Amino acid sequence: MAKVKSAYFCQECGHESPKWAGKCPSCGQWNTFVEEVITKEQSSSGYQSSSKRANKPVAIQEVESTSEARIKVADRELSRVLGGGIVPGSLVLIGGEPGIGKSTLMLQIALQLSNLKVLYVSGEESAQQIKMRADRMEHDSKNCFILTETHTADIFREVEALGPDLLVIDSIQTLHSPKIESAAGSVGQVKECTAELMRFAKENKIPVFLIGHITKDGAIAGPKVLEHMVDAVLQFEGDRHLTYRILRTTKNRFGSTNELGIYEMMQNGLRQVSNPSEILISQKDKNSSGTAIGATLEGNRPLLIEIQALVSPATYGTPQRSATGYDNKRLNMLLAVLEKRGGFRLGIQDVFLNIAGGVRVEDPAIDLAVCVAIISSLEEIPLSSKTCVAAEVGLSGEIRAVNRIENRIAEAEKLGFTEILVSKFSMKGVDTSRYSIEIKTFSQLSEVVSYLFG
């Protein structure tokens, strides 16, 4: 008979404690401990076959290399984000807000992989609901199977009977393992179910995609350990009112983490967006002040992004500063630089900043574009729609070099810009004669200001 034991788990970070505590010693959050009953079996072995075979040490040169064995996916965006296809036996977690399109994305991928047998396990929707969604995406896959089940033991039984090449779990928070007595979605359950799926994936070399819910502050619900257990963590994000969706990696054991996939939510599913710059800047009105185009890089991908700024006199006491898609602290820093080094009286102005298209940019190369957009709005002088910028701004108002400037220049040229403003220090060893776009170099913010705004 199994011995019943209970423990307290922090719902934020998954810290386990034998006693309740007000404050989690691991993550410092208050009132996050919840008692969960765990049934410890004597010979606990998550996925049943693990006890049958004990691994032996192997010399590294004898370990089979599996680098070429990736499963090719037709979806180029997903393929790029994963680092070039799906790695057999990998466990991939996809997080995102409710309604953002996680189920749509995974079902679409499942249907596209028509030469593979895919099992889509749903604990959230009925088979009819999934079928309705599948019907909207015109497809002809006969190899996609739907299972509405939440008990891991039943799922593994069906998996063994069907023998799929790929498994999708929608969502990890709905799964329930009989080994743990707490409710589905609790830290203990999520951890245990993920561990079972991981063992399954590794032992059978079958890739598993897990859909995960996220909490209010954007982290994947469930313990942090979940992110350590899986091989890759993808975030599916975007503004729900806009149609663009961005798939980004926050962890990837088999590739780079700064790759980005862009989709557009259509009536018949998600469409891959192969040239995002065109969409992100297509709505620019030639004569409006306060917009600037920044040449950024997301992973290996150059992306021209429109930055919109609105500067208006503050009517109430403390001026407001708010940024969407951009770091607020960084905005405050740039405002201070503009005030101190550029002599712009921004201390009495409300400043709002928005990155068009619902994208979030962390590339410092966007700094100069942010500054230029703010000055353009403050002075009410529109910028030429054929000009774009790529440089970092330092605390003393210096224009700093950014990496891979040639990719940015080439992309700007491709999109029909006639002028790009960069740092003087970016241009070492760059052959400017290769480009027809005019490359203007600067070393101080004040030079840029007098060049653009006279």
Residue ranges in contact with ligand TYD by CB under 6 A? 96, 98-104, 133, 136, 265, 267-269
Asked if 192 and 151 count as a contact pair (C-beta separation under 8 A), the reply is no
Q: Which does 31 bind (CB under 5 to 8 A by kind): Mg ion, ligand TYD, none?
A: none
101 labeled part of a ligand binding site: yes
22 labeled part of a ligand binding site: no
Nearer to ligand TYD, 102 or 330 (CB): 102
Nearer to ligand TYD, 220 or 307 (CB): 220
Lay out the site mask for Mg ion across 45-84 (x = CB under 5 A, - = otherwise).
Answer: ----------------------------------------
Nearer to ligand TYD, 90 or 104 (CB): 104
**Least distance CB 103 / ligand TYD (angstroms):** 3
Nearer to ligand TYD, 96 or 185 (CB): 96
Segment near Mg ion (CB under 5 A); pick from 10-18, 98-106, 221-229, 445-453: 98-106
**Least distance CB 170 / Mg ion (angstroms):** 6
Closest Cα partner for 354 from 317, 322, 316? Answer: 322
Segment near Mg ion (CB under 5 A); pick from 78-86, 97-105, 348-356, 427-435: 97-105
**Least distance CB 169 / Mg ion (angstroms):** 11
Tokens representing 397 are 């108002």
**Least distance CB 244 / ligand TYD (angstroms):** 12
103 labeled part of a ligand binding site: yes
**Least distance CB 359 / ligand TYD (angstroms):** 18
- The closest residue (CB) to Mg ion is 103
Nearer to ligand TYD, 267 or 315 (CB): 267
Closest Cα partner for 445 from 371, 364, 390? Answer: 371
**Least distance CB 124 / Mg ion (angstroms):** 5
Nearer to Mg ion, 46 or 222 (CB): 222
95 labeled part of a ligand binding site: no
**Least distance CB 286 / ligand TYD (angstroms):** 32
Q: Which does 265 bind (CB under 5 to 8 A by kind): ligand TYD, Mg ion, none?
A: ligand TYD
Q: Which does 269 bind (CB under 5 to 8 A by kind): ligand TYD, Mg ion, none?
A: ligand TYD
Q: From the list 11, 90, 103, 112, which residue makes contact with Mg ion (rule: CB under 5 A)?
A: 103
Q: Which of residues 242-301 bind Mg ion (CB under 5 A)?
A: none
Nearer to Mg ion, 211 or 355 (CB): 211
Please give the Cα distance from 124 to 171 (Å, whole number): 7
Nearer to ligand TYD, 171 or 277 (CB): 171
The full 3-state SS of the chain, as one line of letters, equals CCEEEEEEEECCCCCEECCCCCECCCCCCECCEEEEEEEECCCCCCCHHHHCCCCCCCCHHHCCCCHHHCECCCCHHHHHHHCCCECCCCEEEEEECCCCCHHHHHHHHHHHCCCCCEEEEECCCCHHHHHHHHHHCCCCCCCEEEEECCEHHHHHHHHHHHCCCEEEEECHHHCECCCECCCCCCHHHHHHHHHHHHHHHHHHCCCEEEEEEECCCCCECCCCHHHHHCCEEEEEECCCCCCEEEEEEEEECCCCCCCEEEEEEECCEEEECCCHHHHHHCCCCCCCCCEEEEEEEECCEEEEEEEEEEEEECCCCCCCEEEECCCHHHHHHHHHHHHHHHCCCCCCEEEEEEEHHHCCCCCHHHHHHHHHHHHHHHHCCCCCCCEEEECEECCCCEEECCCCHHHHHHHHHHCCCCEEEEEHHHHCCCCHHHCCCEEEEECEHHHHHHHHHC
Q: Which does 202 bind (CB under 5 to 8 A by kind): ligand TYD, Mg ion, none?
A: none
Please give the Cα distance from 246 to 252 (Å, whole number): 16
**Least distance CB 152 / Mg ion (angstroms):** 19
Q: Which does 133 bind (CB under 5 to 8 A by kind): ligand TYD, Mg ion, none?
A: ligand TYD
99 labeled part of a ligand binding site: yes
Q: Which spans of this chain sit near Mg ion (rule: CB under 5 A)?
A: 103
Annotated binding site: 96-103
Annotated binding site for ATP: 96-103
